[in-house]
Amino acid sequence: MTDRSPTIALLFGLLITLLTVVAYSCYLTLQMTELRNVERHFAGRNRKDSLQLLRIYNDLNSLALAMRDMLDGNEPYPLTAWSAQFQRTRADLDDALRLEDQLAVGHRTQEQREYLGHSLAQFWDAVDRTFSLAKAGKEKETRAQIQLSLQARQQALSTAVARLLVENNESEEHTATYINGVYDRVQQQAYFFLAGTLVAILVTGLYLIYSNRKLFDRLSVVSEQRSELAQKLISMQESTLRYVSRELHDEFGQILTAIGAMLSRMHKQVPVESMLRSELLEVRDITQATLEKVRSLSQALHPVTLDEADLPSALDWYLPNLQRQTGIDIDFRKSGEPFQLESAARIHAYRVVQEALNNVIRHSGKMQAWVRLKYQDTALVIEVEDQGAGMPTKPSQHGIGLVAMRERAELLGGTIEFLSQAPGGTKVRLSLPRPTTESYEN
């Protein structure tokens, strides 16, 4: 049963995280836009409107002071002298009222908007009548008009303006409360978003760790199975080569030896003057050459010296033969105090040297190689070096021989390195640990 790939779940977790980020970003943008609108179109206008109301309130107070002075009669001026002050204040009030009407916030009703203008217009009508009486010299009626009409209207206007100021202050407080509430909600949502994002990242990360753990467990199992299979294949290969080598050496060698002996006896029994004598001699020579080729092939498949002697002896036989067959020049050197390897180690080391030299012949483009056996205190180091084209740059160009050499090194508990040389060439270095108990197998 094949395990389901974690890709879909991880993509789903990433999608949820991204959607959460996008949703919160949209929410935050909307909240900030709303706050800017409130501050720009409501709070700002409300403050400017309050300033105009204060301007109107101050103008009304200045009129109240002027009317008080007119009623006291302490000034040596006629009542008409205050007309200029009233006209200046009227112009300022009209300008302030115009600006206030433009800045008035939206929650004010139409009646509230019209009340101040109508009341102020009525107040100025009364002022005009009052100053008309003053110009006519009717000071008593003028003061009575001021006391009964103008002061009452001025107080009513001041009260209305004060009420509007109070409403604006309350509106500013509500606005501040609303803005603080928005900030609190945004802050709270930020905590929720941060917590949700951390949870999503944590869950996705844990799932990724879990998936990777399962994947590495499966890879470990597959690697162990592959290593076991490689060991069995290599063992089967060596067993087959040993069997074929022995069959060639024993069965075919004996048969060819018997045929050669029979031909020799027949050659002696045939008369000297017979033409068959020379033909028998030629067939015997062919049989002897075939026997030598079979024995050479048997040695190539599995050198007997690997079972009977040591690795240097097997290489001393193999390398000269390889030079004669291929024309490659091989410089073989040994150093250090030799120690005996187990039979399996000798076979695998021999095969690694074989494969490395085959790669030199096939791929290096040079017909020269160096083979080094270095016996060290704790290991045997074998190096096969050339100065050819070097290692292929693409992994797909690596042959199965490199894989086989790695597997043989792992079977022996050693290491193998494929090193690129400068300016060109390749060095294969095999390191085998020295056996703790040397066994001499024959």
Q: What is the mean pLDDT of each run of 10 residues along the chain (442 residues)?
A: 64 78 80 72 75 88 88 78 89 88 70 80 89 86 86 88 84 79 79 80 81 84 77 74 72 77 78 76 82 74 70 86 88 89 84 88 85 91 86 56 82 86 83 71 40
Would you tell me the crossing angle of helices 151-247 and 400-411 to the nearest 10 degrees? 80
Q: Which residue has the tokens 């068959």?
A: 276
Range of the domain at 77: 7-207
Strand partners, 333: 372
Measured CA to CA, the distance from residue 306 to residue 312 in angstroms comes to 9
Domain endpoint, select from 178, 207, 236 = 207
CATH number at residue 389: 3.30.565.10
Q: Is residue 1 domain-resident?
A: no
Q: Is residue 251 domain-resident?
A: no
Domain endpoint, select from 207, 239, 267 = 207
Same domain, residue pair 32 and 148: yes
Query: Which residues are within 8 A (CB) of 260 and not within 5 positions of it... i.e. 6 or more apart?
Result: 284, 287, 288, 291
Measured CA to CA, the distance from residue 175 to residue 276 in angstroms comes to 131
Q: Are strands 368-375 and 329-335 parallel, antiparallel or unpaired?
A: parallel
Q: Is residue 97 domain-resident?
A: yes
Q: Determine the straight-line distance between the first and last CA of the chain, rounded to whole angstroms.
A: 48
Helix (H) or strand (E) holding 429: strand 426-433
Q: Looking at residue 1, what is its pLDDT?
A: 42
Q: Looking at residue 142, what is its pLDDT?
A: 84
Measured CA to CA, the distance from residue 373 to residue 114 in angstroms comes to 113
Cα–Cα nearest to 165, from 44, 60, 57: 57
- Residue 426 near residue 420, CB atoms below 8 Å: yes
Q: Is residue 293 domain-resident?
A: no
Q: Is residue 292 domain-resident?
A: no
Measured CA to CA, the distance from residue 342 to residue 181 in angstroms comes to 84
Same domain, residue pair 83 and 200: yes
Give the helix ranges, DSSP H, for 270-399: 275-301, 304-308, 311-326, 343-359
Q: Tokens for 123, please give them.
A: 């107040």
Total domains present in the chain: 2
Query: Which residues are within 8 A (CB) of 184 and not within 5 positions of it... i.e. 6 or more apart?
Result: none
Q: Is residue 244 domain-resident?
A: no
Q: Looking at residue 5, what is its pLDDT?
A: 66
Q: Is residue 327 domain-resident?
A: yes
- Residue 254 near residue 296, CB atoms below 8 Å: no
Same domain, residue pair 191 and 62: yes
How remote is the C-alpha of 244 from its chain's centroid?
A: 55
Q: Looking at residue 305, what is its pLDDT?
A: 66
- Residue 432 near residue 380, CB atoms below 8 Å: yes
Q: Is residue 413 domain-resident?
A: yes
Measured CA to CA, the distance from residue 413 to residue 431 in angstroms comes to 9
Written as one letter, the residue type at 5 is S
- Residue 86 near residue 127, CB atoms below 8 Å: yes
Strand partners, 229: none
Residue 59, phi then psi, degrees to nearest 5: -65, -40
Distances (CA, A) of 270 to 195, 256, 282: 108, 21, 14
Domain endpoint, select from 169, 188, 207 = 207
